[in-house]
Amino acid sequence: MAQSLSIVQKAGIGLGALFCVTVLWGAVQPREEPPYDPVKAHHEHPEQIVWSHNGIGNLGVTGTFDRAQLQRGFQVYRQVCSACHSINRVAFRDLEALGYGEEQVKVIASEYEVADVDSDGEPTTRPATPADKFPLVYPNEAAARAAQGGAYPPDLSLITKARHDGTNYVRSLLLGYRDEVPEDFAKPDTLWYNPWFASLAIAMPQPLIPDAEQVEYTDGTPMTVENYATDVAAFLTWTAEPKLENRKETGLAAIGFLIIMTFLGYLSYKKIWRDVKKGKPA
């Protein structure tokens, strides 16, 4: 039966065999262990929890913000985080999306001072209006570092987008302070041990202290550090993507539209080709 193989075919088979042998050989080689790195070994991944803005199945396809939670988170931000961190990309009037009325926003804004110039062009400050953005805590990075012992507390407006799995990360970071430092990790004395922070040693002192009831919740939500951390993480998700709900709605509407159009397209295909398929003359 067999016609003898051509030289090209033989070369091809040979090459293929050589390739297979090389791959197998590579697969059974012992792997070189990367050198032990205590930072990698002790680093923790954010705890995954269910968020209303992640919608059905926590998948992130659908979802809406929990307004009451955002308001509580804003309260935590205002009473704790705002001592060091700005949210300079958020305007006071944006807060109406959290369910505050126009008057309430005016009152909140008036509690902040923003930079302005007087009629002589001299720099001055005045109470903020709803059109202003949240002011910076420090006028510039150098001033911030000088006040924070060399560390820079970043603006938090976009932090949940700037970190992988940002919402869960911020929550875990806030709950992640640990007293016991692993023996093989040399923590600088001026920093705090937090295995959720990339370098494990963070310059931010623990902002949320267990059992201290730092923030007074008025809606009956238990005043635990877990709730504070969760609520402020949700709030910072909103500051980073205030239009999250619109994006999801538009996406779902577009998918619905495409599904309907696909169905209509299929029906018209059936109709146009019906006679041709039956073998009738066109």
Residues that bind ligand HEC (CB under 6 A): 76, 80-81, 83-85, 148, 151-154, 156, 159, 163, 170, 173-174, 202-205, 207-208, 232
Report, in Å, the least distance between residue 228 CB and ligand HEC.
7
Q: Which long-range contacts (CB under 8 A, 24 or more apart) does 132-135 make?
A: 132/91, 132/92, 133/88, 133/89, 133/90, 133/91, 133/92, 134/86, 134/87, 134/88, 134/90, 134/91, 134/92, 135/86, 135/88
Report, in Å, the least distance between residue 179 CB and ligand HEC.
18
Dist. CA 167–CA 171, nearest whole Å: 6
Cβ distance to ligand HEC smaller for residue 70 or 232: 232
Cβ distance to ligand HEC smaller for residue 54 or 194: 194
Q: Which residue is nearest to ligand HEC (CB)?
A: 81
The three-state secondary structure class of 124 is: strand
CA proximity to 46, closest of 149, 162, 164: 164
**Residue 152: count of CB within 10 angstroms of its CB:** 13
Cβ distance to ligand HEC smaller for residue 181 or 203: 203
Report, in Å, the least distance between residue 156 CB and ligand HEC.
6
Cβ distance to ligand HEC smaller for residue 98 or 159: 159
Report, in Å, the least distance between residue 46 CB and ligand HEC.
11
Report, in Å, the least distance between residue 271 CB and ligand HEC.
58
Cβ distance to ligand HEC smaller for residue 87 or 248: 87
For residue 96, what are the CA distances in angstroms to 158, 242, 247? Answer: 19, 11, 19
State both tokens at 117.
């110039």
